[in-house]
């Protein structure tokens, strides 16, 4: 059985005190909820808040991920963070290729691939984001766009390594807009992604890979989205900043 993973992407929000409060509330819910082992929770705060969140979720099953990292071990890269630094803090995951990184910081599939290779070498579990813009969807090229992103972002990865990669399908037109792909649209995209993964590796590997949905996931639509056969949880943005809403989304992943 595949895992269902709910990850909260806090983006550039909160301060240390607020991060501790939110992480503490999520920790309390996870402790009391007695989640089945196949349901995972990951919190992804901004880099300056990672240590505080790791401290708050200690001794729970909650993973902590960074929102980005550099592909190099170390070097003269002012403002960047290495995988080794993240591991030394206690991070378990890292988001790579989020649409906002691609849009605002011009990250290419090739750059994402370099970061992915480094994350896997270092032992961080990557959450690799792919997704089409509204213009691409309306012109009917969603599937070619997703296939290119998959093949280029995941280049050079063995079938064994692929099983450790989490994918997040995030239609760019649904991120922070309040618009959400219908469950049917999400399932169609996820099924297509899984078919490409099978072609890139094998059907068993593709069947075991976790593919999250990201794009205005909320407490009132999470259960229907997660019920789709190829949707394995969510990469949650704004709703992850509200402890009550995020708890409801976690519960929907049961």
What is the set of active-site residues? 98, 170
DSSP 50-118: HHHHHHHHTTSS-EEEES---SSSSSS-TT---HHHHHHHT--EEEES-HHHHHHS---HHHHHHHHHH
Q: How many CA atoms lie within 13 A of 125 on its CB side?
A: 21
190/196 Cα distance (integer angstroms): 10
The helix-helix angle for 183-200 and 142-153 (nearest 10°) equals: 40
Q: Which residues pair with 6 in a beta bridge?
A: 41, 234
Cα dihedral: 5, 153, 229, 45 (round 10)? 20
Gap between the terminal Cα atoms of the chain: 13
Of the candidates 114, 207, 87, 121, the one whose C-alpha atom is nearest the C-alpha of residue 159 is 207
Under 8 Å CB-to-CB from 227, ≥6 apart: which residues? 183
3-state secondary structure at position 213: strand
The SS3 assignment for 212 reads strand
Q: How far is CA 182 from CA 188, 189, 193, 209, 222, in A?
A: 10, 11, 17, 22, 11
């Amino acid at each position: 059985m595949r895992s269902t993973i709910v990850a909260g992407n806090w983006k550039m929000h909160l301060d240390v005190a607020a991060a501790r409060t939110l992480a503490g509330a999520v920790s309390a819910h996870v402790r009391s909820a007695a989640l089945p082992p196949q349901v995972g929770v990951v919190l992804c705060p901004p880099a300056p808040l990672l240590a505080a969140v790791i401290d708050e979720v200690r001794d729970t099953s909650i993973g902590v991920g960074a929102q980005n990292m550099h592909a190099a071990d170390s070097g003269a890269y002012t403002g960047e963070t290495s995988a080794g630094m993240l591991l030394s803090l206690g991070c378990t995951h890292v988001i790579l290729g989020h649409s906002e990184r691609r849009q605002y910081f011009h990250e290419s599939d090739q750059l994402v691939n370099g970061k992915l290779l480094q994350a896997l070498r270092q032992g961080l579990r990557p959450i690799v984001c792919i997704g089409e813009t509204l213009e691409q969807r309306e012109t009917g090229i969603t599937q070619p766009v997703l296939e290119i992103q998959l093949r280029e972002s995941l280049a050079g990865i063995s079938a064994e390594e692929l099983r450790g990669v989490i994918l997040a399908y995030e239609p760019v037109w649904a991120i922070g807009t309040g618009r959400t792909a219908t469950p049917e649209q999400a399932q169609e995209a996820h099924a297509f992604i899984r078919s490409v993964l099978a072609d890139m590796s094998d059907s068993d590997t593709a069947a075991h890979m976790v593919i999250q949905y990201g794009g205005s996931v909320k407490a009132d639509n999470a259960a229907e989205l997660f019920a789709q056969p190829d949707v394995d949880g969510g990469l949650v943005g704004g709703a992850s900043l509200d402890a009550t809403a995020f708890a409801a989304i976690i519960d929907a992943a049961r």
